[in-house]
Amino acid sequence: MPADPTSHPPASVRSLWRLRGYLRPHRWALVVMFAVSLAGVGVTIAIPLVTRAIIDGPITRHELGPVLPLGLLALALGVLEAVLIFVRRWVQSNAVLGLESDLRRDLYERLQALPMSFHTRWQSGQLLSRVTTDLSAIRRFSGFGLLFLVINILQVLVVTVVLLTMYWPLGLVVAATAAPIVWLSMRFEKAYVVVSRGVQDQQGDLATLAEEGAVGIRVIRSFGRGDHMARRYDEAALQVRATSLDKVRLSAKFWTFLEVIPNLAVVVVLLLGAIGVGRGALTPGELVAFITLLLSLVWPVSSLGVILAMAQEAMTAAARVLEIFDTEPDIVAGDQQVPAPRGHLRLEHVDFAFPDAPDQPVLRDVNLDVPPGQTLAIVGATGSGKTALTALVPRLFDVTGGRVTIDGVDVRDLDLVSLRSLVATAFEEPTLFSMSARENVTLGRADAAEDDVLAALEIAQAGFVHDLPWGLDTRIGEQGLSLSGGQRQRLALARAVLSRPAVLVLDDTLSALDVHTEKLVEEALSNVLSQTTGLVVAHRASTVLLADRVALLEDGTITHVGTHRELLESVPAYRDLLAADAVVDAEVGDGGAGGDGGGGTADAADQRSGDEVRA
């Protein structure tokens, strides 16, 4: 797959051919469809031949006896054709829907397996359009276009041979119409594939804008930027409209030409056929049969434009879907398990750079050792690499140097399911899903007992869920927008606590809580953290106090590790980071009461903060 999602390989028949495996489970349905369709072509040809026999036989000889049997035969053939069409469509619908369902399932599983580096590059709207619009295009062609492309071409060839056999001069007229059709189809294919890809990509961008507008509605309204976002959407929609009109114009020219050619052929055949009947080269029945067969080619030829357009859209869609399937995960699962996990976490000489910026390291030579049952707080300025560090533990990203181990096993050697059952993460920006509060909390442990769920909610101070209209069974809406930021954080924290991990990672999880609620949560969390290994990203001194030790992260490197008090007293950079928090002042003041000069430290911190504010 290209590094940039906006660049893409060209669409071709090979793109569709690579997806042929999804047809294999439905191969017998395909065999039935083609057999029924071929039988339908045979019936279509037989009816005009019966008509010829009626006209040239009993009608010409003025014999009424044979008319009824031949008429009933024609009627039976018409009924048979209707039955064949019904059978073909019934079998077709089941097979095609099964194909789309299988493809959609595999595509979704692939998206789940791809690493964060992939999802940071791709817009959600582009992925959404591939899962919906593109799969529908593949389904339409696989269920309708592919079948009729083969059947219609076969019908044109067979009917042309029959016409040549019946009266070769008129047959040549029909055969001669193939040359301009083939030439124009080749030109149409080259132009249409480009404009079709443009429309599909632009529809993905439009879907992204629509999703952003829905998810970010509170921000948009709070800043009064509704008109601005609407203009952005209108501009993108107008771009899709302009490209779609180009697509329609191209199709209209091609389809019009395909409509004209068969009708011109009918006029020429009718003229030359009448002359042939007048000269005795043709019988009236043969002329009627000839024209009827020729008219049976009008739809196959005129539909060629629709089918070719459908084929181009399907090839483009297949190419877009294969971009996802062809993406090689840069995180490859191991096969080891941790039989009796204790949660001993170590980072050994860890380096890390994001995949799209390999020359800009975020972490450099990070070394940390967190024994089982201990909690380590990570403190650092914005942009120092705290969140990147926590993402390495559950392998949302992989280290570019060194290693991360749990109980002595490199996380890269662990089975991913096993690893992510050992490690639970609660993020600063919690993600909730359009499901019930209970389903959101039990996402990491679906078999949790009711008492365990209630205990996790109590720890996270998320008792507000009981006041929702249907309690825990209340659907909280997409992204949890019906809840406040603090409520979303508490539900996400309850989800992490409920999973009972060996390693609990809290990425500034309490940032949206008020001081009173934060204190209650911290008191409850202290018991949880005493029974697991904790890695806590902290910006508040109150959160730091949850930890047994603190690591100061500066410019991607751990510069100091110690207790909160030790770093306050000996590391000015650490003191500066927490100087604005009243808890720090109280803690340093307590240290001063011990006679170690803590009061002077507090005064210095206060003076430094005041100088920074005045600056």
Q: What is the CATH number of the domain that holds 159?
A: 1.20.1560.10
Task: Decide if 5 is inside a domain.
Answer: no
Q: Are 301 and 391 contained in the same domain?
A: no
Highest average pLDDT, of 412-426, 501-515, 597-611, comes from: 412-426
Q: Are 266 and 383 contained in the same domain?
A: no
Task: Decide if 232 is inside a domain.
Answer: yes
pLDDT at 194: 80
Q: Are 148 and 41 in contact (CB under 8 A)?
A: no
Task: Decide if 7 is inside a domain.
Answer: no
Q: 447 in the Ramachandran plot: left (φ > 0), alpha (ψ -120 to 50) or beta?
A: alpha
The pLDDT tens digits for 70-96 are: 888 889 988 998 898 888 888 877 777
Q: Are 149 and 167 contained in the same domain?
A: yes
Task: Decide if 350 is inside a domain.
Answer: yes
Structural domain including 20 reads 13-325
Question: What residue type is assigned to position 527 of the chain?
Answer: N
CATH of the domain at 356: 3.40.50.300
Tokens of 93: 């619908």
Which regions of 221-362 does DSSP assign to beta strands (E)?
A: 345-352
pTM (two decimals): 0.69
Query: What is the SS3 assignment for 234?
Result: helix
Question: Among candidates 399, 335, 343, which has minimal Cα distance to 556?
Answer: 399
Percent of the chain residues past pLDDT 90, beyond the cut: 18
Instruction: Judge whether residue 587 has pLDDT over 70.
Output: no
Q: Are 365 and 431 contained in the same domain?
A: yes
Q: Please give the distance of CA 396 from its chain centroid, rounded to a whole number.
A: 18
Question: Among candidates 496, 486, 553, which has minimal Cα distance to 520?
Answer: 486
- For 606, phi then psi, to 5°, come to -65, -45
Q: Are 156 and 302 contained in the same domain?
A: yes
Q: Are 209 and 78 contained in the same domain?
A: yes
Q: Are 456 and 369 contained in the same domain?
A: yes
- What is the rounded average pLDDT of the residues 112-123? 81
Q: Are 499 and 592 contained in the same domain?
A: no
**In the listed set 262, 293, 325, which residue is the last one of a domain according to the structure?**
325
Helix ranges, 334-483 (H): 386-392, 416-422, 437-441, 450-459
Mean pLDDT of the chain: 82
Q: Are 366 and 451 contained in the same domain?
A: yes
Q: Are 314 and 407 contained in the same domain?
A: no
Buried b / exposed e across 317-343, counting CB within 10 Å, b at 16+? bbbbbbbbeebeeebebbeeebeebbb
CA-CA distance, 558 to 565, in Å (whole number)? 17
CA-CA distance, 488 to 285, in Å (whole number)? 80
- What is the rounded average pLDDT of the residues 106-118? 85
Q: Are 57 and 102 contained in the same domain?
A: yes
Could you give the count of Cα atoms lying within 13 Å of 430 in the half-sphere of its Cβ?
30
- What is the rounded average pLDDT of the residues 65-70? 83
CA-CA distance, 292 to 269, in Å (whole number)? 11
The pLDDT tens digits for 123-134 are: 777 888 888 888
The number of domains in the chain is 3
The pLDDT tens digits for 172-211 are: 887 888 778 777 777 777 777 788 888 878 888 888 888 7
- What is the rounded average pLDDT of the residues 58-65? 80
How far is CA 112 from each of CA 107, 389, 405, rounded to the nearest angstrom? 9, 22, 24
Long-range contacts of 82-87 (CB under 8 A, 24+ apart): 84/36, 84/37, 84/39, 84/40, 84/43, 85/40, 87/32, 87/36
pLDDT at 70: 85
CA-CA distance, 519 to 529, in Å (whole number)? 15
CA-CA distance, 480 to 401, in Å (whole number)? 37
The pLDDT tens digits for 379-425 are: 988 888 998 999 999 998 999 999 999 999 999 999 988 898 899 88
- What is the rounded average pLDDT of the residues 37-52? 87
Task: Decide if 336 is inside a domain.
Answer: no
Percent of the chain residues past pLDDT 70, beyond the cut: 91
Tokens of 363: 């972490």
* 589 pLDDT tier (thresholds 50, 70, 90): very low
Q: Are 448 and 321 contained in the same domain?
A: no
Q: Are 137 and 320 in contact (CB under 8 A)?
A: no
**Residue matched to tokens 């039935």:** 32
Task: Decide if 441 is inside a domain.
Answer: yes
Task: Decide if 339 is inside a domain.
Answer: no
More confident residue, 511 or 357: 357
Highest average pLDDT, of 56-60, 98-102, 360-364, comes from: 360-364
pLDDT at 10: 59
Task: Decide if 50 is inside a domain.
Answer: yes
The pLDDT tens digits for 426-451 are: 887 788 888 899 999 998 788 889 99
